[in-house]
Amino acid sequence: MQPKQLLIALILCVCVFSCKEDEKPKVEPLEIITEPEQIKEFGFVLEDYIVKRDTIKSGDSFGEILERNHIGYPRIFNIAEKVKDSFDITKLKVGKPYTLLCSKDSLQTPECFIYQKNSIDYVVVKFADSIITYNEKKPISIVQKEASGIVMNNLSETMEQQGLPYELINDMSDIYAWTIDFFRLQKGDRFKIVYTQRFIEDSIPAGIESIDAAYFKHKDEPFYAFNFEVDSTKNISDYFDENTKSLRRTFLKAPVQFSRISSRYNLNRRIKYYGYRLRPHKGTDFAAPIGTEILATANGTVTESTRRGGNGKYVKIKHNGTYSTQYLHMKGQNVKKGQFVKQGDVIGWVGMTGNTGGPHVCYRFWKNGKQVDPFQEKLPAAESIPDSLKANYTEFIKPLKIQLDNIQFKDNKIEIPSEEETLTSKIQ
């Protein structure tokens, strides 16, 4: 080979080698394997066991449940002795659910018994190796939610149409128990709520935690309510309006929830049955089904809990030196003479004892020993927020009020634009 040809050949080799160096090697993509998520409950990985679920039946006992699942009585006796100080196996309640975690073999021997006291609390008895008993709670999450509605017939029906929890309906009626007469709601009255709800394991509803803020427009007048803690050391909170005034009054307007007034206080009442003779009615009758809870309308001490003549079974409560209340025709009383009761406590149930033509509670209101019409009395309001907390309260409710004002009303689950509201006061 000539020198010139040799030089050309060397240059070509260098070029080819350089090109190969510049080529990036092909890398096969890695296969990503995702492990299936393990399903856990009660702190156990369920796929590690054969899971058997059931409820306590009439006649069931702890021993019979284990014996049905192939554990002999000597072993059962040993387990019962070990757990007796921490779990009373004789108090299993009919209808309560339980779970057995069993071995994954042909014998399917139970290794753990889990008894659910309620939707949250449960007790675990482990007896696979050593016998261990402990109480636990299912994880609870708190979720803030919003709701709204326009009243077409009554508040209860409207809120049920929105699919709202019944507990929320009761809480709303409690908040506005004095401010708004729920027996006289008008078509077109409307509400908004910001509330928190408990969920078990992020999916199972477990009741209302609290109503943080609410708005109710009744007879074209707006009523705001904000839940504010007034005493952190005693964990005391209450509801106040946008002007720091308490929504609660000394007395609830009615001793029963979601009832109707069937007969009002009337000193000039005349009844055809009695020949139109004057027969004054010194109480207010609230018609409700038999068994409806009757609530104390204010704090006080029970002075009478008995049965007498046309009054039937009744309770009388002395609230202070001025006011007393009386609740007639009960099916039964839930309090005794001398007992102290708080506003909203259940003191009895609606019945038909004494002289009555239908199930109701006759609510009588006494002022300085004389029966008066509570709806005509100007009763004292509850205390407002202390001056030292008013600035904190004003700052606290600002974001809640903005959130309320931005909620759209819902009518039969169809959103409609929010109306322009004329506020009675402006929060600075």
pLDDT tens by residue, the chain, 428 residues = 555 555 555 555 544 445 444 555 555 555 555 555 677 889 899 999 999 999 999 989 999 999 999 899 899 999 988 898 889 988 899 999 999 999 999 889 999 999 999 888 999 999 887 899 999 988 888 889 898 888 888 888 888 888 888 888 888 878 887 677 676 677 888 899 999 988 887 777 888 888 999 999 887 889 999 999 887 776 778 899 999 988 877 788 889 987 788 888 776 665 554 555 656 778 889 999 999 999 999 888 899 999 999 999 999 999 888 899 999 999 999 999 999 888 889 999 999 999 888 999 999 999 999 999 988 887 767 778 888 999 999 999 999 999 999 998 876 544 444 444 433 333 33
Q: Return d(Cα 346, Cα 340) in angstroms, integer.
A: 12
pLDDT at 220: 81
Residues 6+ apart with CB under 8 A from 311: 328, 329, 354, 362
Paired tokens of 43: 């702190």
pLDDT in tens, 85-102: 889 988 899 999 999 999
For the chain, the distance separating the N- and C-terminal CA atoms, rounded to the nearest angstrom, is 100
pLDDT at 427: 37
Residues 6+ apart with CB under 8 A from 18: none
Q: Cβ distance 319 to 249 under 8 Å?
A: no
pLDDT at 279: 65
Residue type, 59: G
DSSP one-letter string for 84-108: TTT--GGGPPTT-EEEEEE-SSSS-
Question: What count of other Cβ atoms lies within 10 Å of the Cβ of residue 134?
Answer: 12
pLDDT at 32: 54
Q: Of 408, 401, 426, 402, whose CA–CA distance to 226 is shortest?
A: 401
Question: What count of other Cβ atoms lies within 10 Å of the Cβ of residue 146?
Answer: 15
Question: What count of other Cβ atoms lies within 10 Å of the Cβ of residue 326?
Answer: 21
pLDDT at 24: 53
Q: How far is CA 236 from CA 193, 232, 313, 388, in A?
A: 21, 6, 35, 16
Place of tokens 């009442």: 269
pLDDT at 416: 41
pLDDT in tens, 225-277: 999 988 777 677 889 999 998 887 778 888 998 778 888 877 666 555 455 56
Q: Virtual CA dihedral for 265, 269, 273, 275, nearest 10 degrees?
A: 160
pLDDT at 161: 81
Q: What is the set of domains in the chain, with CATH numbers?
A: 40-137 (3.10.450.350), 139-249+382-420+424-428 (3.10.450.350), 260-376 (2.70.70.10)
pLDDT at 248: 76
Q: Cβ distance 216 to 189 under 8 Å?
A: yes
